[in-house]
Chains A and B, each alone.
Chain A
Amino acid sequence: MSTRRTLYQFGYRRCPDQDRPSPARHPVVVVGAGPVGLCAAIDLAQRGVPVVLLDDADRIGEGSRGICYAKRTLEILDRLGVAQPCLEKGVTWKIGKVFQGNDLLYAFDLLPEGGHKMPAFINLQQYYLEHALVARAAEMPNLDLRWRNKVVGLSHRNEGVTLTVDTPDGPYDLEAEWVVAADGARSPLRGMLNLSFQGEVFEDRFLIADVKMKGDFPPERWFWFDPPFHEGHSALLHKQPDDVWRIDLQLGPHADAEAEQKPERVLPRLRQMLGHDSFSLEWVSVYRFQCRRLERFVHGRVMFAGDAAHQVSPFGARGANSGIQDAENLAWKLALVIKGAAPESLIDTYDLERSAAADENIGHSTRSTDFIAPRTAQELRFRNAALALARHASFAKRMVNSGRLSMPSTYETPLSTPDRDTWSGSLRLGAPLPDAPMRAQDGRPVWLLEALGGEETILHVPNGDSRPEGSRVLVIGEDLMDEHGHFAERFDATPGSTYLVRPDQHLAARWRQAAPDLVKRASLRLRGVDA
């Protein structure tokens, strides 16, 4: 059931490609204007690659869907120019609480330290994120977003793909050197290529309801095992903007999905949970979760991203977050390949790095689902034993799993140059850089990640020798002032420390003292060039 009316409607417009005698050829066609496709398209366009973005619908706003956006995702959105409206509208949070029955078992803080531009998480209805992304896309002259353009055919050609696109004016063909398939969990493109999408299906059904009410719960993630208002099952409560609350109730394996969505079933459940009935239903859906993935994300010139490539259960907010991280991983690589600055094999590292990330996400999400929805009597005993022990023994708190919230992956990748020196601090090889508050040369405050942007960059701490050579070098203490010492601490920086940063802000290499030929080789290596 969906009571929400469409929030944003966009118009179909006929485009010149539909009137050409032979198909137009584009470097990249992105299929699917959800968060993942929009991020991929914007990132590519920002990197100077002209993009066509196709979507079979012409509206957004049906259901809140993904609501939790993690710090790393916000950092990516910031680079794409859309974090600000999301932060302004979103509910910022970082505290999670886990209850059993009426009792608080423990609380966790997802970002206990300061000195980061982005918060641990915001909650925001997916349609607001999509709207901000669509607005950003509309500003970009080299991004051509076509609504009601539905891909109905795909064939591989030499060095490219031909797509058949259906529109209200009838079908037309398009040629693309590369296709990004971000067409969602049911991905029609996956079907067109006959690719299997395998994994684990969880039997338990969950009711997801968005409720509008004036509530006095704090902006925190509250999770209950066996709450008094929903005995024997689990429940989750999350705050969204506009006085909307996300409620997630476990229904068990035998629930009737259709019947459970009817107001006469939903409303009493919610009344029991909230203790009143001064609320209205925004959106209701009943889910059964799956954790599955494509075996490979790259098929010739077609690259799958987001839900089209992998699907996880929602405990941990790993769906949209990992999809947007896919988009960012792919965009810089594809841009370099299209510009001839990297070999085509660089795209294989998208498969490698994001497959590993998908496995990590599927692992976390599977383990969370196992804990939340035990399948056998003994699984339930273990679960209940862990919950009971958590009250007396700290080790058991760490076993209680109500969802492990999305963290960015640390890539073990051939693009990294292995460390030769010893490092402490929170920076990890292959991981995104931790942020830090800095000052620019002119004294204006700037965040480290803002200063980095989306270009390959060398960060260098001077030691009296000459600056290292690279396409872009930022010297700490000259270009960026580390006023509060956060950089030095997080990067374990000493005079001479040099860091090579990928265009996606992940660390590719670091040295205590950098010899020019080592830096040069590491830079080639991060672009997939044999050195």
Chain B
Amino acid sequence: MTALVSESRFPDPDRAYRALIDAHRGLSDQDSAALNSSLVLILANHIGDQGVLEEAIALAKQSLERSSPDRS
């Protein structure tokens, strides 16, 4: 089973990040959320591995807890 790769993989991570920002520029929150939903589905399918997907979800949830310290 492949494990989720959490080390950096893009030769130029800044450009990859920028591509995501560009994609959302000018979109309403609602359209942004819709775009992200499509992206998640496309990328999840590209990964094509239930275990990796679940690890990614767990990692994202962990970061959600950290980024919202006022959440009880």
A interface, CB within 8 angstroms of B: 377-378, 381-382, 384-386, 388-389, 393, 395-396, 399
Contacts and interface: CB of A to CB of B under 8 A. Distances in A.
Given A384-B34, A393-B42, 18 more contacts: A378-B33, A378-B37, A381-B37, A382-B37, A382-B40, A384-B37, A385-B34, A385-B37, A385-B41, A386-B41, A388-B38, A389-B38, A389-B41, A389-B42, A393-B45, A395-B45, A396-B45, A399-B41
Contacts of A381: 33-34, 37
Contacts of A388: 38
A393 B43 CA distance: 12
27 contacts: A377-B33, A378-B33, A378-B37, A381-B33, A381-B34, A381-B37, A382-B37, A382-B40, A382-B41, A384-B34, A384-B37, A385-B34, A385-B37, A385-B38, A385-B40, A385-B41, A386-B41, A388-B38, A389-B38, A389-B41, A389-B42, A393-B42, A393-B45, A395-B45, A396-B41, A396-B45, A399-B41
A264 B41 CA distance: 42
Contacts of A389: 38, 41-42
Contacts of A385: 34, 37-38, 40-41
A339 B42 CA distance: 57
Contacts of B45: 393, 395-396
A395 B40 CA distance: 13
Contacts of B40: 382, 385
Interface of B: 33-34, 37-38, 40-42, 45
Contacts of B34: 381, 384-385
Contacts of B38: 385, 388-389
Contacts of A378: 33, 37
A389 to B, nearest CB: 6
A395 B45 CA distance: 7
Could you say which of A384, A385, A395, A399 has the most chain B C-beta atoms within 10 Å of its C-beta?
A385
B3 to A, nearest CB: 23
Shortest 9 CB-CB contacts between residues of A and residues of B? A385-B37, A385-B38, A381-B37, A395-B45, A382-B37, A381-B34, A381-B33, A385-B41, A389-B38
A388 B42 CA distance: 12
A382 B57 CA distance: 15
Contacts of A393: 42, 45
Contacts of B42: 389, 393
A400 to B, nearest CB: 11
Contacts of B33: 377-378, 381
A409 B41 CA distance: 29
A382 B34 CA distance: 8
A393 B33 CA distance: 20
A377 B38 CA distance: 14
B5 to A, nearest CB: 21
A381 B38 CA distance: 8
A208 B4 CA distance: 45
A105 to B, nearest CB: 15
